[in-house]
Structure 1
Amino acid sequence: MSTALITGASGGIGKAFAEELAARNTNLVLVARSKEQLSKLASHLQEQYKIQVDILVKDLTEPGATDTVFDAVKAKGLTIDLLINNAGFAHYGDFAESDGERQIKMVQLNILALVDLTHKFLPQMRQRRSGSIINVSSLTAFQPMPYISLYAASKAFIVSFSQALWAENRQYGVRVLVTCPGPVETNFFTEANFPPALAAKTNKISTSEQVVRESLKALERGDSIVVIGGFSTHFISRLSRFVPRRTLLYILEKQFKTKTL
């Protein structure tokens, strides 16, 4: 049996990955901050699918967190066949007026933890000449996004980084995919502190389960990137190719600014 490590596994897309992979007879290592939610999910998956599920309760923004995760996996004698870097968060607001510590934590989780975990597990995959990595990005990666500026920038980093790794590692039999879903039915907007009126304007196009299924299909095809959503999602992902950057920024700033800002 293969083993997948999933960060941000306690809810949303991460939880959906865990449930789908468990149904495919994959052992799991689940990483998140919530011990209660991880334990509940692990018990459910073990009972229903008779797989091995290990949980690692860790805040990946803490110093040395990725070392702890890697060392724990090594101590358990586990081989990670699929790494899913899903953990991340956003924060709505004017960057200059936002809490600086929270912005730094966003960089630490969305970028640094992803890079470090990839760097720790990728060499083993290359040595075995097998393995896969899925990095979860977003539709916001394809254009600068006023009022969620750092989040969108972090997701753009993930797209560029992941596609470069796809090219570097094909010869070693290692697959790398970046998945870019449009709006998904999760707690994203609430946790990111989006104004309710603005969040309500955004149509939730996909479910977490749809994101997972389409991502795994794209991985099996050997794709480097997949954009998930309906026609509007795919249109938005290409918009910056046809609309002048200044015009696009003007439109987005007006769209995402609320009267309270």
Structure 2
Amino acid sequence: MREELAREVIDINCDLGEAFGRWRVGDTRDADLMPLISSANIATGFHAGDPNLMDDTVRLAVEHGVGIGAHPGYRDLHGFGRRKMGGTSREVVNDVVYQVGALREFARRHGGVLQHIKPHGALYMEMAANAELSWLFVQYVRTVAPTASIFCMAGSETEAAARELGQPVVREFYADRDYDDSGSIVFTRDVGRLDPSAIARKVVRACREGRVTTVSGKDIAIPFESICFHSDTPGAFEIARALREALTAEGIRVAPVSEIISEASRRQA
């Protein structure tokens, strides 16, 4: 995806379906967020999510024209997938296969397609640093979903494996997380209430200048094609609304990554 196109049109993704039965996380309903985003990372049962919730979330995504993504995590309902779990790389990837397969069937049921796959929480961070795990994961995606994009951090082992194997890759900018000087997000278990206007300014600057200020005060370049925020962040609805309003005011259109990639391909043809 060309950088200049990504700055005129951008994807907003959010982790959704992160509940289990009567258990809920966060103070915002998925139904309220869906009209404000363009891609949904839908929990697939291991860190959160259950069959009924997956079905409801996929249906909402299709109704709103939101790109459907599988959001597999470690087998860790108790810890919300934010703890690294044991197992070989093969075992971990087989858990991913199981979860992605379930979500893809719900997408088919509602006439949707699997747009992307984004590992969750501790699994996302482990893949970012683990070349063997990333390679096996991308090999799996390459085999069963060669057109699905992999969402990851810029400069991660996940990105490197995807590019080497020829799998579409989308780099993320984290609106509601801080960055360290290496360009990695600062992993935080509990995020307090944030200022939506400050987040919106941070995102607009990243879109226009490609830069972000780190926790140490350093200014760094940050390449990305999608903006991420989390539905369990307190005040997620206000954050989403502030993002959309700020991007619209800057003349930046919001669209699913599949649409952005298609536009880029047509322009290059």
Give the TM bin, normalised by the shorter chain: 0.3 to 0.5
Which of these two proteins has the greater Rg computed from alpha carbons?
Answer: 1
TM-score (norm 2): 0.37
Higher relative contact order (CA 8 A, sep 6+): 2
Q: Which has the higher helix share?
A: 1
